[in-house]
């Protein structure tokens, strides 16, 4: 079977897996031949796509991480906020995942757009349990993890839907409202005897970042419970790869890049490694495009995460990218989950998000010419960039020439370090310009000093272009994982 994005579904295709919607109100059983009406329905309801059966993909096996019934029971329990049912579902989820010999989460289609929060919570539960298993958590810990993952966003029921689903950027006030949801989730569980303190803490802190920039408590590193760290990274992974009212889905490999970029600043190191291990960057059954222009379907994983076993579409030939001589130099350049393959998915996405008339001005301050060049290359397509070699010049540029929309500031610089430069910019009256620190290390002292001068983010050097671009976008346009 293979995964066909909703836009590419056509009448006549045969479903390889059943599609069940909430309360079983709409069901298309495995083996059903799609009609125009069914295709319209799936596209209209925002399904990412469907798994279909065809000759090209006969030998592609998708491992069902949990049973469809369990998944749907989870969606139902979360939608109703029924904690007893959530606990039951959590136990069956853990049973199924813990007892399975399969190591990866292959499914990519089990989410529906119009009731995102409920599907999202179950997806996060599946990812979290698989990641927790990889990290060696005990059975009892996995059960608490599953309950916390399913409950993490229950508090969103108290946030107005028009804010949750608002297309485009949120106002500061709206974003502050959304940020209350983890506390609301905690409150909902507070008086429930069936919920342990461990679960409540994990729910409360699922938006905390390693470097203290998260919410609601601004905790750092070891102060954040392990279960909260796992839910946090899985939450962001699922938000990135999902379609939302305000964003297109990321291909899985880009979501991996993003998490890797946020290691030790946003996410726990070992959690990110476990995610790399259990969620394939190229899940079986998806379309990929190669650097030589050929199109293919992913058949299976190899021992190299970015070089899976594929089948070329036009020649019907199987190629193991991890050891095929003829394909040694060939790489995967794009993969299609949401739409037909786009050559530059992230760039296209950025272009759509960056629709304001005036291109925003980003000031990069760094004493290393190489570092300046890399940062400029990563964001120069989307923004006007002014590159400046030291803190003193940066201050005079702002005072005399132009006030940037964002400053990306190196920390260790001769003459005037980045922290002092920002302090001086703030003291000159420019209190609102957002600042991202680009640092070689992200120790607690740097973070505390950065906080004191109102930094909005810290990125560790050298940063991957995907991560850098997305963090700049998030700072200027708003969060991805509302
Ligand atoms: Fe959340």
Domain ranges of the chain: 2-57, 68-278, 287-336, 354-477
Tokens representing 455 are 């930094």
Tell me the per-residue pLDDT of 322-338, one tens digit each, with 9 for 90 and over.
999 999 889 898 887 64
The CA distance from 92 to 114, in Å, is 26
Band of pLDDT at residue 172, cut at 50, 70 and 90: confident
pLDDT in tens, 399-419: 988 899 999 999 988 888 999
pLDDT tens, 18-34? 777 665 566 788 899 99
Q: Residue 179 Cα, ligand 1 centroid: separation in angstroms?
A: 8
- In tens, the pLDDT along 239-262 reads 888 877 666 778 888 899 999 999
User: DSSP of 31-64, one letter per residue?
Assistant: TPBP-HHHHHHHHHTT--EEEEE-GGGTT-----
Q: Domain 354-477 has what CATH class?
A: alpha beta
For 267, left (φ over 0), alpha (ψ -120 to 50), or beta? beta
* Segment 213-224, tens digit of pLDDT: 899 999 989 999
Report the candidate in 210, 211, 218 with the shortest Cα–Cα distance to residue 182: 218
Report how far ligand 1's centroid is from the alpha carbon of 231 (Å). Answer: 9
What's the fold here for domain 2-57?
Answer: Molybdopterin biosynthesis moea protein, domain 2 (3.90.105)
Mean residue pLDDT of the chain comes to 87
Output the CA 164–ligand 1 centroid distance in Å.
Answer: 11
pLDDT at 144 over 80: yes
Q: What's the CA-to-centroid distance between 136 and ligand 1, angstroms?
A: 25
Instruction: Indicate the length of the chain as a whole number.
Output: 482
Distance 378 CA to ligand 1 centre (A): 29
The per-residue pLDDT for range 275-297, each reduced to its tens digit, is: 999 999 998 998 899 999 999 99
**Which CATH number applies to 68-278?**
1.10.3210.10
- Pick from 64-68, 126-130, 395-399, 464-468: least confident: 64-68
Å from CA of 152 to ligand 1 middle: 6
Q: Where is pLDDT greater, at 20 or 12?
A: 12
Q: How far apart are CA 443 and CA 191, in angstroms?
A: 38
Find the 222 Cα to ligand 1 centroid distance in Å: 20
Ligand 1 center from residue 122 Cα (angstroms): 13
Peptide bond into 323 cis (omega under 30): no
* Residue scoring higher pLDDT (172 or 361): 361
The pLDDT of residue 344 is 38
Percentage of residues in the chain with pLDDT exceeding 70? 90
Of 82-91, 168-177, 271-280, the poorest mean pLDDT is in 168-177
> How close is the Cα of 182 to the center of ligand 1, in Å?
6
CB 363 within 8 A of CB 393: no
What angle separates helix 252-261 from helix 269-278, to the nearest 10 degrees?
160
């Amino acid at each position: 079977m293979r995964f066909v994005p909703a836009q590419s579904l056509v009448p006549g295709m045969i479903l390889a897996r059943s599609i069940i919607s909430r309360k079983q109100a709409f069901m298309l059983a495995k083996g059903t031949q799609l009609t125009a009406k069914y295709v319209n329905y799936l596209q209209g309801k925002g399904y990412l796509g469907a798994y279909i059966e065809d000759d090209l993909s006969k030998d592609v096996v998708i491992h069902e991480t949990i049973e469809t019934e369990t998944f749907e029971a989870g969606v139902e329990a979360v939608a109703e906020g029924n904690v007893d049912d959530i606990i039951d579902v959590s136990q069956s989820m853990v049973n199924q995942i813990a007892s399975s010999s399969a190591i990866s989460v292959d499914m990519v289609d089990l989410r529906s757009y119009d009731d995102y929060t409920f599907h999202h919570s179950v997806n996060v539960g599946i990812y979290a349990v698989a990641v927790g298993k990889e990290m060696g958590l005990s059975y009892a810990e996995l059960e608490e993890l599953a309950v916390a993952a399913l409950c993490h966003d229950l508090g969103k029921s108290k946030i107005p839907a028009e804010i949750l689903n608002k297309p485009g950027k949120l106002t500061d006030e709206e974003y502050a409202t959304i940020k209350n949801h983890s506390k609301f989730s905690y409150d909902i569980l507070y008086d429930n005897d069936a919920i342990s303190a461990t679960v409540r803490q994990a729910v409360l802190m699922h938006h905390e970042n390693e470097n203290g920039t998260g919410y609601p408590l601004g905790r750092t590193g070891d102060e954040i419970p392990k279960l909260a760290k796992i839910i946090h990274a899985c939450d962001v992974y699922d938000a990135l790869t999902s379609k939302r009212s305000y964003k297109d889905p990321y291909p899985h490999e880009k979501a991996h890049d993003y998490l890797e970029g946020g290691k030790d600043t946003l996410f726990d190191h070992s959690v990110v490694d476990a995610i790399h291990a259990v969620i394939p960057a190229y899940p079986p059954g998806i379309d990929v495009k190669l650097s030589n222009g050929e199109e293919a379907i992913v058949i299976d994983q190899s021992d190299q995460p970015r070089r899976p076993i594929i089948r070329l579409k036009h020649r019907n030939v199987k190629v193991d990218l991890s050891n095929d001589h003829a394909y040694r130099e060939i790489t995967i350049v794009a993969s299609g989950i949401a739409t037909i393959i786009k050559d530059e998915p992230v760039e296209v996405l950025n272009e759509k998000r960056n629709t304001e008339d005036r291109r925003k001005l980003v000031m990069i301050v760094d004493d290393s010419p190489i570092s300046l060049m890399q940062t400029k290359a990563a964001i120069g397509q989307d923004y006007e960039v002014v590159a400046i070699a030291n803190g003193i010049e940066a201050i005079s540029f702002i005072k005399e020439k132009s006030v940037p929309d964002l400053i990306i500031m190196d920390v260790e610089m001769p003459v005037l370090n980045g922290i002092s430069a920002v302090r001086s910019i703030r003291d000159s009256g420019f209190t609102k310009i957002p600042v991202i620190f680009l640092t070689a290390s992200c120790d607690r002292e740097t973070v505390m000093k950065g906080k004191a001068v109102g930094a909005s983010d810290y990125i560790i050097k050298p940063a991957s272009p995907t991560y850098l671009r997305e963090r700049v976008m998030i700072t200027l346009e708003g969060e991805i994982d509302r």
